[in-house]
Amino acid sequence: MILERITAEAMASPDREVCGLLLGTGDRVLEARSCRNVAADPAMRFEIDPAALLAAHRAARRGGPAVIGHYHSHPSGLAEPSPRDAADAVADGSIWLIAAGGRVTGWSAVENGALHGRFVPLRLHGAAGRATG
Ligand SMILES: [Zn+2]
């Protein structure tokens, strides 16, 4: 359900990257929260609204679900992280979901990943929103 929603959001935005936060516990995504893309060039990049990120971290400290990753779309690119994504990614094990071409792929940002030296693929289990390496 989460993946279908992200796919639909991405398909509805052919000209700019959509983005949002993945909230949950461990590797289990409970919610994909759509956020404003505040990047200067949203057709080519994404930058999650820092206010939304701050609010999510604040809610997590009060006992809410943790921020365990984020998603964004590639309107005219591949359903995998780009070299630019790799350059921006911190190797913190967070979940990256990439929507493109009507599907979503999942990745974990790690040291020495197989893709661009930064990402390893995750298996996604749609209904449960669970991502495992
Ligand atoms: Zn990207």
Structure confidence by residue, pLDDT tens digits, 37-81? 999 999 999 999 999 999 999 999 999 999 999 999 999 999 999
* d(CA 57, ligand 1 centre) in Å: 22
Percent of the chain scored above 90 by pLDDT? 89
- Site of tokens 């809610």: 59
**CATH code, domain with 122:** 3.40.140.10
For 106, counting Cβ atoms within 10 Å of its Cβ (0-12 exposed, 13-18 middle, 19+ buried), the class is buried
Enclosing domain of residue 105: 2-132
Indicate if the pLDDT at residue 131 is higher than 70: no
User: Active site includes 4?
Assistant: no
Beta bridge partners of 66: 24
* d(CA 59, ligand 1 centre) in Å: 26
Q: Cα Rg for the chain, rounded, in angstroms?
A: 14
pLDDT of residue 126: 62
Mean pLDDT, rounded, of the chain = 94
Catalytic residue among 4, 9, 17, 111: 17
Number of domains within the chain: 1
